[in-house]
């Protein structure tokens, strides 16, 4: 029997995915569990496996297209099986996330139409806004009775942005309003030429993209497709810098002894070069064990303290940033940390990390020193309570014993969640970090 192939949830934070590559083509036979496509999620390219054995009868989503979770991407079944009913269902927009089927016998009656209600909020002056719109999300035949054809995700976007769906022209099958139509409407609404209504909100809304009007003589431009990773980065930044009360602490560290220790380690094992960042990761992990209040995260009804230091190491890749995690870094040597960072950073750039390799750090380290940045602040990656921003190691004149001498200096800035970490707690952590880096022998004491 022919069945739909749905886009599966391939990572914990995945809400939609981009079908990067079909590994099978129409007419190919597949076994249950066999990979059939590569999907780009918010962090990596993952393989999507077949949930049953059969033949790929129809591919419905082209490579490069993004679709929400549960969307039908193809049809599989027996060779030469009639799939016209499923194709008609897909073109009408009925197909959504699969739901459990009722146990009763099937009825010949027409199924009840799915309705989605979009609430329009009241304005701040107390006047009532337009009445709620009742929107038919699935059945194309309802177009004749005055109701709108709209996908559920588009209906939700319209409700959140306060957009009247009757003003949106659908570009989907049979004039259905789909996600890209709402994205265009949101951009148009945010234009400086369009007055913005003031609505009552219980929380600060995310800033909307602004489409500038065309100006004669202005520079030409191009709009580049946003990757799944960049979309999630944007969402997570909004949930971090706004809701989380950040505060920042900066310390300057003398790195001469640390640089000597690194040089010695690389002479001992020249095939496994240790970077300054590898050494910092190890020192951070040991300092976290001594200051468990920093190795923690904010939960709604508790502060969660972690036994080991799982350090996220920020790695820049083509589409943004990803943080491979060194699990239990406090229990590992610098050499082992160096090997793991190199291996995972390589797979991160190829988008081949598994979700468990970049999800669930207890603390993160972001180093821009290699780009010549002396000092910066980083945004906390929720639910972690802190992140350390590391600048370049630079030769500077400093005063030691009333004399001016040249030392290798490095500035670090810790961004902290004030709900978890107090100023004094963060300061004591940085004191320990500074002491360890300025005296690396403390790592083996």
Per-residue 3-state assignment (H helix, E strand, C coil) for the chain: CCEEEECCCCCCCCCEEEEEEECCCCCCEECCCCEEEEEECCCCEEEEECCCCEEEEEECCCCCCEEECCCEEEEEECCCCCCHHHHHHHHCCCCCCCCCCCCCCCCCCCCCCCEEEECCCCECCCCCCCCCEEEECCCHHHHHHCCCEECHHHHHHHHHHCCCHHHCCCCCHHHCECHHHHHHHHHHHCCCCCCCCCECCCCCCCCCCCCCCCCCCCCCCCCCCCCHHHHHHHHHHHHHHCCCCEEEEEEEEECHHHHHHHHHHHHHCCCCCCCHHHHHHHHHHHHHHHCCCCCEEEECCEEEECCCCCEEECEEECCEEECCEECCHHHCCHHHHHHHHHHHHHHHHCCCCCHHHCCCCCEEEEECHHHCCCCCCCCCCCCECEEEEECCCEEEEEEECCEEEEEEEEEEEEEEECCCCCHHHHHHHHHHHHHHHHCHHHHHC
Task: Write phi, then psi, for 443 (nearest 5 degrees).
Answer: -70, -25
What's the mean pLDDT when you consider all of the chain? 79
CB environment 373-410: b (16+ within 10 A), e (fewer): eebeebbbbebbbbbbbbbbbeeeeeeeeeeeeebbbb
Q: Which of 62, 121, 89, 108 is nearest to 4 (CA)?
A: 89
Mean of the pLDDT values across residues 390-412? 96
Mean of the pLDDT values across residues 28-43? 86
Q: What is the CATH number of domain 115-122+130-210?
A: 4.10.320.10
* Cβ atoms of residues 323 and 361 within 8 Å: yes
Q: What percent of the chain has pLDDT over 90?
A: 42
Which distant-in-sequence residues (6+ apart) come within 8 Å of 177 by Cβ?
Answer: 148, 149, 150, 151, 154, 165, 168, 169, 170
Q: Parallel, antiparallel, or unpaired: how do β-strands 115-118 and 35-40 relate? A: unpaired
**The pLDDT of residue 210:** 47
Question: Which residue is it, tokens 């300025």?
Answer: 438
* pTM of the entire predicted model: 0.56
Q: Which CATH architecture has domain 3-91?
A: Beta Barrel (2.40)
Question: Residue 404 — very low, low, confident or very high, per pLDDT cuts 50/70/90?
Answer: very high
Least confident range of 46-60, 81-95, 159-173: 81-95
**The pLDDT of residue 192:** 47
Q: Which of 308, 318, 311 is nearest to 358 (CA)?
A: 311
Mean of the pLDDT values across residues 375-382? 93
What residues act catalytically? 418
Task: Write phi, then psi, for 199 (nearest 5 degrees).
Answer: -120, 150
Q: Report d(CA 306, CA 233) in Å as an integer.
A: 25
Higher pLDDT: 424 or 159? It is 424
CA angle at residue 151 from 149 to 152, to 5 degrees?
125
The domain ranges of the chain are 3-91, 115-122+130-210, 231-444
Q: Is 101 left (phi over 0), alpha (psi -120 to 50) or beta?
A: beta
Question: Which residue is it, tokens 């802190």?
Answer: 386
* Cβ atoms of residues 412 and 253 within 8 Å: yes
- In DSSP terms, 251 is beta-bridged to 412
Structural tokens at position 174 = 């049979």
End-to-end CA distance of the chain: 67
- pLDDT of 46 > 70? The answer is yes
Task: Write phi, then psi, for 261 (nearest 5 degrees).
Answer: -65, -40
Q: Which CATH number fits domain 231-444: 3.10.300.10, 3.30.559.10, 2.70.170.10, 3.40.462.10?
A: 3.30.559.10
Q: Report d(CA 412, CA 390) in Å as an integer.
A: 5
Highest mean pLDDT of the ranges 49-53, 104-108, 158-162, 424-428: 424-428
- pLDDT of 71 > 60? The answer is yes
**The pLDDT of residue 15:** 79
CA angle at residue 57 from 28 to 36, to 5 degrees?
50
Higher pLDDT: 381 or 427? It is 427
Residues comprising the chain, all counted? 445
- pLDDT of 392 > 50? The answer is yes
Each residue's pLDDT tens digit, 95-146: 444 443 333 333 333 333 333 434 333 333 333 343 334 344 333 333 444 5
Q: Is 351 left (phi over 0), alpha (psi -120 to 50) or beta?
A: left
């Amino acid at each position: 029997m022919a069945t739909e192939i749905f886009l599966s949830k391939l990572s914990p934070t995945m809400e939609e995915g981009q079908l990067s590559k079909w590994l099978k083509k129409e007419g190919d036979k597949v076994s249950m569990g066999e990979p059939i496509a590569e999907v780009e999620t918010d962090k990596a390219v993952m393989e999507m496996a077949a949930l049953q054995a059969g033949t790929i009868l129809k591919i419905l989503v082209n490579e490069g297209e993004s679709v929400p979770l549960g969307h039908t991407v193809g049809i599989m079944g027996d060779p030469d099986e009639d799939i016209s009913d499923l194709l008609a269902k897909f073109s009408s927009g009925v197909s959504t996330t699969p739901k459990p089927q009722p146990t009763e016998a099937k009825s010949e009656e027409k199924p009840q139409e799915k309705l989605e209600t979009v609430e329009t909020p009241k304005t701040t002056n107390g006047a009532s806004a337009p009445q709620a719109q009742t929107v038919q999300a699935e059945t194309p035949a309802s177009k004749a009775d005055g109701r709108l054809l709209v996908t559920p995700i588009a209906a939700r976007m319209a409700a959140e942005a306060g957009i009247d769906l009757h003003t949106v022209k659908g570009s989907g099958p049979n004039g259905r309003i789909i996600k890209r139509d709402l994205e265009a409407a949101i951009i148009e609404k945010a234009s400086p030429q369009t007055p913005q209504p003031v609505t009552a909100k219980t929380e600060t809304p995310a800033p909307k993209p602004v489409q500038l009007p065309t100006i004669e003589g202005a520079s030409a431009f191009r709009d580049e497709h946003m990757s799944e990773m960049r979309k999630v980065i944007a969402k997570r930044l909004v949930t971090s810098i706004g809701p989380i009360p950040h505060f920042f602490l900066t310390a300057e560290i003398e790195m001469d002894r640390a640089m000597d220790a690194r040089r010695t380690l690389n002479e001992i094992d020249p095939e496994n070069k240790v970077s300054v960042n590898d050494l910092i990761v190890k020192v951070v992990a040991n300092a976290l064990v001594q200051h468990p209040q920093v190795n923690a995260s904010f939960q709604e009804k508790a502060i969660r303290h972690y036994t080991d230091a799982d350090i996220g190491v920020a790695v820049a890749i083509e589409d943004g940033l990803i943080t491979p995690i060194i699990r239990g870094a406090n229990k590992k040597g610098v050499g082992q940390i160096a090997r793991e960072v190199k291996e995972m950073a390589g797979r991160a750039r190829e988008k081949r990390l598994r979700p468990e390799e970049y999800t669930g750090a207890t603390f993160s380290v972001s180093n821009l020193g290699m780009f010549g940045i002396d000092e910066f602040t980083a945004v906390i990656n929720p639910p972690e309570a802190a992140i350390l921003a590391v600048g370049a190691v630079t030769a500077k004149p400093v005063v030691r014993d009333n004399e001016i001498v040249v030392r290798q200096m490095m500035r670090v800035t810790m961004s902290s969640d004030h709900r978890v970490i107090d100023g004094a707690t963060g300061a004591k952590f940085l004191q320990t970090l500074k002491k360890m880096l300025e005296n690396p022998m403390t790592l083996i004491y």
